[in-house]
Amino acid sequence: MRTVELSRLFADNQERLDLVWLAGRDGGGRTLSRDTTAQADVGLVGHMNFIHPFRVQLIGPAEIAYLGTLPPAEQQATFARLLVDELGAVFICGIGAPPDYMVEQCDRAHVPLMQCPHPSPHVVDVLRLYLSRMLAANATLHGVFLDVLEMGVLITGASAIGKSELALELISRGHGLIADDIVEVYKVSPELIEGRCPDVLKDFLEVRGIGILNIRTTFGETAVRPRKSLKLIVHLEDHTDEQFKRLDRMSVNATFQEILGVKIRKVVIPVAAGRNLAVLVETAVRNFVLNLRGIDSTREFIERQAKLMEEG
């Protein structure tokens, strides 16, 4: 289960949100996670809520206006109800300095209290996107992950079949490397898988006979990408002459591979002498884009043939 400490959340978003840590510094070790088995009614980020409490509670002008309608003693008692063990932090958004009792209570309860000058809806959007990436379900895949024609393409296949050589050819044709050998994939939304590279392998590609290449140094900044949404899997298969002859040349039904519960389109390309795999991968991506637009060349050809036979 992935977790994020409040101190990490503060450091990663301090510059973007102009955050100031006001109180509860010793609560920086509190963690946020997507473990909903024990706390099914606890969300991650939202405005002050006592019915469906959030792990990060935001207080903006509307919440301060509500608290201002209460007597001073009741204001403090109401705010104290927020400071439960499950709470991660309190963000004060767009209202300037908070009342002194909030600072005192957060220090006493060891709950981080952070101040932000931006409107609370903007802070909610930023933190939800950040946490969706940091806490996403993840897995590790073997292959080479590339940006081909603005599409995230994972090239898979048996060891020594030529994945890295194919990747090098595609990079030399202007496409971008994301990860070689080990690809970390994250489910950042119900229908979206994002691929990234482990820090230790960033920018590197291993090619048999040459060694390990630093793609950023060799081909320039535009030859690498930090991350990309996985849209297509290209699987390389080694075929004998007989197997190659028996391939279905009019395959109509699309194949898919399920990753973290999301179905990803899969294309199998036979590897044989004389085949330009880089051109085939580019064409597979272009064909996939056309399929997304509702254009299927194979079905179009079959329908044209059927129409001609009917007319004949």
Catalytic residue chosen out of the listed positions 81, 142, 263, 275: 142
Catalytic residue chosen out of the listed positions 30, 55, 147, 163: 163
* 227 carries an active-site annotation: no
How far is Cα 35 from Cα 204, in angstroms, rounded to an integer? 34
Q: For 138-176, give one letter per residue: b (16+ CB within 10 A) or e.
A: eeebebbbbbbeebbbbbbbeeebbbbbbbbbbbeeebb
* 142 carries an active-site annotation: yes
* 181 carries an active-site annotation: yes
DSSP string for residues in 121-179: HHHHHHHHHHHHHHT-EEEEEEEEEEEETTEEEEEEESTTSSHHHHHHHHHHTT-EEEE
Neighbours of 312 (CB within 10 A): 5
Catalytic residue chosen out of the listed positions 181, 216, 239, 266: 181
* 163 carries an active-site annotation: yes
Amino acid identity for residue 82 in this structure: L
Closest CA to 148 of 220, 230, 215, 216: 230
Cβ 216 vs Cβ 224: under 8 Å: yes
Cβ 237 vs Cβ 202: under 8 Å: no
The angle, 0 to 180 degrees and rounded to 10, between the axes of the packed helices 6-17 and 120-134 is 130
How far is Cα 312 from Cα 206, in angstroms, rounded to an integer? 57
How far is Cα 199 from Cα 251, in angstroms, rounded to an integer? 39
Provide the annotated active-site residues.
Answer: 142, 163, 181, 249
